[in-house]
Amino acid sequence: MPLPDLNLLVTLDVLLSEGSVASAARRLRLSPSAMSRALSRLRDVTGDPLLVRAGRGLVPTPRAIELREQVGTLVDGANAVLRPAEKLDLGKLDRRFTLRTSEGFAETFGPQLLTMLEAQAPGVTLQFLTKTDKESAPLRDGEVDLETGVIDADTAPELRALPLFDDRWVGVVREGHSLSQGPMTASRFASAGHVLVLRRGLHSRQIDEAVQLEGLERRIATVVNGFSTALALARETDLVATVPERHTEGLRKGLHSFALPVAVVPFTISVLWHPRMDGDLAHRWLRGCVRTICGTRRSDDERALP
């Protein structure tokens, strides 16, 4: 079945509004004969005369009266879809966004981000979800608006990404730990008891490789699957947790952090989203807020570590 000519909806809307072929032709900048042909096509498509002569003018049929409001709504809706998005009014924005991040992001960046959102768009609600894998389905399906992570071979190629900040691994121990005193060496670092963090994406395999290049090996005392758990154990024991510096700033309060005595390549944390949200003005605004907060936030530890 052939698709109908949707341009006829605009013609019908104007004809029903003007009630005159001549007036409708002037409004649409068509010749009277072209408008008469369009009316003829509309009559064929709808199976109704739509406008019939009454004296020197035309009056709508009952079918035309029935269609008038419906056609107007359709044309208005199509115009709204096809015109450029209007300027975003943050003061009236009423929306809920979901941000999926690795552990520590909400504690580190959440307070400043929420303060910014409240000041600019008090009707916005932000939900934080902990990121446990690198599956792109939540972004693709619209369950998540934004997520943070490291771009690597496991990242879905269709996702958009914007760099937020560079990060590096740091060692963390409780205050008063022997490693909080004196110069840090690869030997001292490797011989201590360590919490090994195993997780997809951001992981500590690189630390072990760097230690092995020094002819040493970390002494692993326990294995966990998250940075918050690693830091909780380091806080209450003599174990060493090795975690991303900036990402876990909020989780490391009250702990002693130190630069690793081995060479480990830093990495970049990015914010990711699905391309269907590229043109969404509210989504674009939120991306800008996240980038602003993450780009300006600096920790005391970061400035102090060598």
The domain total for the chain is 3
Q: Is residue 200 part of a domain?
A: yes
Point out the least confidently predicted range of 56-60, 111-115, 200-204, 223-227: 200-204
Regarding predicted confidence, which is higher, 178 or 75? 178
Quick one: pLDDT at residue 302?
38
CATH at residue 71: 1.10.10.10
Q: Is residue 1 part of a domain?
A: no
Residues 6+ apart with CB under 8 A from 130: 100, 101, 102, 103
pLDDT in tens, 14-52: 888 888 888 888 888 889 899 889 889 989 888 989 888
High-pLDDT (> 70) share of the chain, %: 91
Quick one: pLDDT at residue 86?
65
pLDDT in tens, 233-287: 999 999 999 999 998 998 999 999 999 999 999 999 999 999 989 889 999 999 9
Q: Is residue 61 part of a domain?
A: yes
Res. 181 pLDDT band, cuts 50 70 90: very high
Domain co-membership, 248 together with 183 = yes
> Across the chain, what does the average pLDDT equal?
87
Domain co-membership, 154 together with 142 = yes
Domain co-membership, 279 together with 154 = yes
Q: Is residue 186 part of a domain?
A: yes
Category of 17 on φ-ψ map: left (φ > 0), alpha (ψ -120 to 50) or beta:
alpha
Supply the range of the domain harboring residue 297.
Answer: 90-167+268-304
Domain co-membership, 257 together with 175 = yes
Q: Is residue 2 part of a domain?
A: no
Quick one: pLDDT at residue 230?
95
Domain co-membership, 273 together with 163 = yes
CATH at residue 247: 3.40.190.10
Domain co-membership, 64 together with 198 = no
Residues 6+ apart with CB under 8 A from 269: 148, 149, 150, 163, 164, 165, 166, 167, 244, 246, 247, 294
Quick one: pLDDT at residue 104?
86
pTM score of the predicted model: 0.68
Domain co-membership, 278 together with 163 = yes
Domain co-membership, 181 together with 162 = no
Domain co-membership, 130 together with 278 = yes
